[in-house]
Amino acid sequence: MRKVRFIQADVFSDSPFGGNPVVVVPEAEGMTSEEMQALARGMSFAETAFITAPTVDGAAFAVRCFSPTTELAYSGHQLLGASFVMVTEGRVDLKEGRAELPVQVGKGLCHVEVNRDAARDITRVTATERPASFLGVVEDREAVAAALSVDPAAIQVDAWPVEQVRMDLTCLIVPVRDLPTMRLLLPAKGALDALLNSYGAALALAFCRDTLSPMNDVHVRVFALPLGIDEDPATGSANAALAAYLHRHGALTMDAALGRRSAGGLILLRSEQGSEMGRPSVIELELDPGSQPPLVRVGGRVQRSVEGSVYY
């Protein structure tokens, strides 16, 4: 019997037990893939991140990302939560309140920025996502509507398409008419699972422009049945895919109602997610319209909420 320590970090939240929880195992050296998967399944959290020694030159550390059923090629909130834990554990130095961390995920490097204020509280953790790929429009809105238990008219919004967007994971982006409809979405598990599998998608992101808070720009719900996650309270990579989708379809132009412009010309977007699950989350997105293809950064607050040990 072996024991490992874990820390729960709640990502995209201003307070503990909001946002999207990730269990981070900061000392996972020596664990096999099978042991990691068994621990992720046994913890019953949406996802678990394991910190290991990097094998890529220049990486500060490596992260392996697991859902309860499978190892993931990438998970945005796991990357942010793991980076937060490594800084708060003192394993990575913050010079002058800021650090840029090259983190190995798979065989590549992801770049994470961690910011801390004068009181040494971490104020924001941000990661740069890979460019989005647009894989095609889904014409069968009736099938999409049936999988979400809504009328097809509810997802015919401003001629925006239901579209497959890949940003590490393939996401089905579904525009929804209004907030009351969003709150009533009820995935038909068999139909939605079959729909996502037919397009090689890992998750469906439904969104509308109505929001619970006037500070936010879009309201989002994410369903990831192929990953063993009925609904996700906050999804960094999927929201990054949404930002790329909105930019592609002209929703983030200077005269559009969505988003704001930073002094440096970046488009800033705030996405709210997770309220239907009792875990309200805010995902902060930055899109650089001057880059080709446009790059998206995903960030937000992270809170430490639980610490303990698990035996395996």
Q: For the CA atoms of the chain, what is the radius of gyration?
A: 19
The CATH architecture that domain 3-127+301-311 belongs to is Roll (3.10)
Residue of 96, 61, 95 lying closest to 79 (CA atoms): 61
Coil/strand/helix, residue 80: helix
Q: Which residue did the predictor score with more confidence, 260 or 208?
A: 208
pLDDT per position as a tens digit, 40-76 = 998 876 689 999 999 999 999 999 999 888 898 888 8
Segment 151-180 mean pLDDT? 91
Q: Which CATH superfamily is domain 133-293 in?
A: Diaminopimelate Epimerase; Chain A, domain 1 (3.10.310.10)
pLDDT per position as a tens digit, 166-187 = 987 899 999 999 999 999 999 9
The answer to whether residue 255 scores a pLDDT higher than 60 is: no
Q: Which residue did the predictor score with more confidence, 292 or 287?
A: 287
| H helix or E strand, kind and range, residue 123 | strand 122-128
pLDDT per position as a tens digit, 119-141 = 567 778 888 888 899 999 999 99
pLDDT per position as a tens digit, 184-197 = 999 999 999 999 99
* Topology match between the domains 3-127+301-311 and 133-293: yes
Give pairs for 148-153: CB < 8 Å, separation 24+.
Answer: 148/174, 148/185, 148/186, 148/187, 148/188, 148/192, 148/204, 148/206, 149/184, 149/185, 149/186, 149/187, 149/188, 150/176, 150/181, 150/184, 150/185, 153/177
Domain ranges of the chain: 3-127+301-311, 133-293
In this predicted structure, what is the pLDDT of residue 104?
A: 93
In this predicted structure, what is the pLDDT of residue 138?
A: 93
In this predicted structure, what is the pLDDT of residue 131?
A: 86
